[in-house]
């Protein structure tokens, strides 16, 4: 995934509550629907995310790491 794709994913997460809900329920389908392609390592990081964390916790982790899919 390019830096631009990561920025797109994080920006969408931060600004779009509907996207956030979709990402929580179906991370892979939601990311694929955006047309973003992730490496195996990036998919592994997405799968490590604890989607049960609050929006505030996930947003804080995304802000610190620069990516929602950075293995939070």
DSSP string, 8-44: HHHHHHHH-HHHHHHHHH-HHHHHHHTT----HHHHH
Q: How far is 2 from 64, CA to CA, in rounded Å?
A: 18
Checking if the pLDDT of 1 tops 60, the result is no
Mean pLDDT, to the nearest integer, of 6-22? 87
Mean pLDDT, to the nearest integer, of 12-24? 91
> What does the mean pLDDT of the chain come to?
81
The answer to whether 23 and 68 have CB atoms below 8 angstroms apart is yes
**pLDDT digit string (tens) for 29-55?**
999 999 988 888 888 888 888 888 998
């Amino acid at each position: 995934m390019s830096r631009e794709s990561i920025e797109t994913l994080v920006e969408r997460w931060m600004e779009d509550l509907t996207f956030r809900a979709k990402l929580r329920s179906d991370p892979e389908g939601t990311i694929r629907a955006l047309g973003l392609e992730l490496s195996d390592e990036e998919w592994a990081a997405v799968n490590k995310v604890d989607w049960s964390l609050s929006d505030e916790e996930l947003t804080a982790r995304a802000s610190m790491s620069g990516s929602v899919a950075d293995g939070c």
